[in-house]
């Protein structure tokens, strides 16, 4: 398929810059894959679509405060440093993006915090905006992480044109987040409240937790018309034996298996056995799912509304059918559903 087939008109006013008042009270569009039928609900109505021994696959990655603001030595210019991933724990080497990049060269020192709580040195150029930096810090790993926590901001997506608030620290994180390592939230999971999780549990729904540390590559612009030529950035994922067992039991019993979010879907589709079951794994994936694609594990999914020509929208079309999805998105725009990270949700069954 071609990238241009995933264009649609998305008014800027529909990009959600604030979360809904209550997690489980955002809107929910239910899309039936077989007929294309659409229902309009509230997220907590998701309860009505799941029964005893159905399984929801959750991505338990935890977002860390990846956006830092520092000052360049000598000039004092303010530099934004976006932490992408730790390359070496012992040497405190990190892969980062810097802005404005033209001012940052190898050998430059950067100072963070009023009393220079952290100092870093640029040791390599990786891309036009990418750098490798080394934090010059003598304390323990725990102290280092605490300083990042003090200095770092919640890495809200760039389309949200406001400063991150203390509320974002809580709301831009799923309630089941455990394994730190993501620079963006697995947003479909943001709609789950503790009460809703409890009610699903009481109904007999099982949860399988996987980890995929969401990187910025998930949101990278696709720059090729031919989708087969797009290269995804690698992301680390972990699927435990326990999670695989829960999912495989549901597959064998022909239960509903729901991937909560494109990141969960990407993780499970990156670790499929020859007999179409889920395998335990700890690996990296650069899998890009586009139509036509034969899904092996999940037969339903929950996702947010994505932007035009994004890899996320392309994956949804592969799962629910191109015509169904483009029609649903037309309806979503007309009905003023809220899009993107803090937006509304879609259940595809």
Kind of pairing, strands 61-63 and 179-182?
Answer: parallel
One domain, residues 200 and 276: yes
Closest CA to 135 of 152, 153, 148, 154: 148
Domain boundary residue, one of 104, 125, 153: 153
Q: What is the CATH number of the domain that holds 100?
A: 2.40.10.240
One domain, residues 204 and 285: yes
226 secondary structure, DSSP code:
B
Percent of the chain with pLDDT over 70: 100
One domain, residues 30 and 74: no
- The sign of the torsion formed by the CA atoms of 33, 60, 64, 21 equals positive
Q: Evaluate whether residue 235 is within a structural domain.
A: yes
Q: Evaluate whether residue 271 is within a structural domain.
A: yes
CA 49, CA 55: separation in Å to the nearest integer? Answer: 12
Per-residue model confidence (pLDDT) at position 126: 85
CA 150, CA 142: separation in Å to the nearest integer? Answer: 12
Reply yes or no on whether the pLDDT at 197 is more than 90: yes
One domain, residues 230 and 124: no
> Tens digits of per-residue pLDDT, 44-99?
999 999 999 999 999 999 999 999 999 998 788 899 999 998 999 899 999 999 99
Per-residue model confidence (pLDDT) at position 114: 83
Q: Evaluate whether residue 160 is within a structural domain.
A: no
Domain boundary residue, one of 105, 125, 153: 153
Per-residue model confidence (pLDDT) at position 4: 96
Angle at 328 between CA 325 and CA 332, to 5 degrees: 135
One domain, residues 224 and 323: yes
One domain, residues 113 and 257: no
One domain, residues 192 and 148: no
Per-residue model confidence (pLDDT) at position 74: 79
How far is C-alpha 115 from the chain's CA centre? 33
Q: Determine the structural domain holding residue 202 and report its residue range.
A: 3-63+169-348
One domain, residues 57 and 88: no
> Tens digits of per-residue pLDDT, 299-343?
999 999 999 999 999 999 999 999 999 999 999 999 999 999 999
Q: What is the CATH number of the domain that holds 174?
A: 3.40.1780.10
Reply yes or no on whether the pLDDT at 294 is more than 80: yes
Per-residue model confidence (pLDDT) at position 343: 97
Neighbours of 256 (CB within 10 A): 17
CA 130, CA 126: separation in Å to the nearest integer? Answer: 5
CA 23, CA 44: separation in Å to the nearest integer? Answer: 9
Q: Evaluate whether residue 161 is within a structural domain.
A: no
One domain, residues 75 and 53: no
CA 82, CA 123: separation in Å to the nearest integer? Answer: 16
Q: Evaluate whether residue 162 is within a structural domain.
A: no
Q: How confident is the model at residue 33 (pLDDT cuts 50, 70, 90)?
A: very high
State the first-to-last Cα distance of the chain, in angstroms, to the nearest integer: 23
Number of structural domains in the chain: 2
Q: How confident is the model at residue 127 (pLDDT cuts 50, 70, 90)?
A: confident
HSE-up (13 A, CA, CB side) for residue 266: 32
Q: Residue 237: phi, psi to the nearest 5?
A: -140, 155
HSE-up (13 A, CA, CB side) for residue 69: 9
Mean pLDDT for the stretch of residues 176-198: 96
Reply yes or no on whether the pLDDT at 218 is more than 80: no
SS3 111: strand
One domain, residues 259 and 287: yes
Q: 146 with 110: CB under 8 angstroms?
A: no
> Tens digits of per-residue pLDDT, 131-148?
999 999 988 989 999 999
């Amino acid at each position: 398929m071609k990238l241009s087939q995933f264009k649609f008109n998305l008014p800027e006013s529909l990009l959600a810059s604030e979360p809904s008042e209550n997690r489980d009270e955002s809107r929910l569009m239910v899309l039936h894959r077989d007929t294309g039928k659409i229902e309009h609900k509230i997220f907590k109505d998701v309860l009505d679509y799941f029964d005893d021994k159905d399984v929801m696959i959750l991505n338990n990655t935890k977002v860390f405060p990846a956006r830092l603001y520092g000052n360049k030595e000598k000039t004092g210019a303010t530099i934004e440093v976006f932490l992408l991933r730790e390359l070496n724990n012992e040497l405190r080497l990190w892969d980062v993006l810097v802005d404005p990049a033209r001012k940052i060269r190898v050998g430059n020192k950067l100072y963070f915090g009023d009393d220079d709580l952290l100092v870093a040195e640029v040791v390599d150029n990786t891309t036009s905006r990418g750098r490798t930096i080394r934090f010059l810090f003598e304390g323990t790993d725990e102290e280092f992480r605490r300083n990042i926590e003090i200095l770092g901001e919640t890495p809200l997506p760039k389309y949200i044109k406001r400063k991150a608030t203390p509320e974002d620290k809580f709301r831009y994180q799923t309630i089941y987040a455990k394994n730190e390592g993501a620079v963006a939230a697995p947003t479909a999971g943001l709609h789950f409240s503790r009460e809703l999780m409890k009610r699903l549990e009481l109904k007999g729904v099982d949860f399988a937790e996987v980890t995929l540390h969401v990187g910025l590559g998930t949101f990278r612009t696709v720059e090729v018309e031919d989708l087969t030529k797009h290269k995804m950035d690698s992301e680390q994922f972990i699927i435990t034996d326990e999670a695989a067992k829960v999912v495989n039991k549901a597959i064998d019993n022909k239960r509903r298996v729901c991937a909560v979010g494109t990141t969960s879907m990407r993780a499970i589709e990156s670790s499929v056995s020859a007999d179409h079951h889920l395998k335990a794994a700890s690996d990296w994936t650069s899998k890009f799912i586009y139509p036509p694609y034969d899904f092996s594990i999940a037969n339903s999914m929950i996702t947010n509304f994505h932007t035009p020509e994004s890899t996320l929208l392309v994956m949804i079309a592969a799962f629910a059918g191109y015509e169904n999805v483009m029609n649903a998105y037309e309806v979503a725009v007309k009905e003023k559903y809220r899009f993107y990270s803090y937006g509304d949700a879609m259940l595809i069954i």
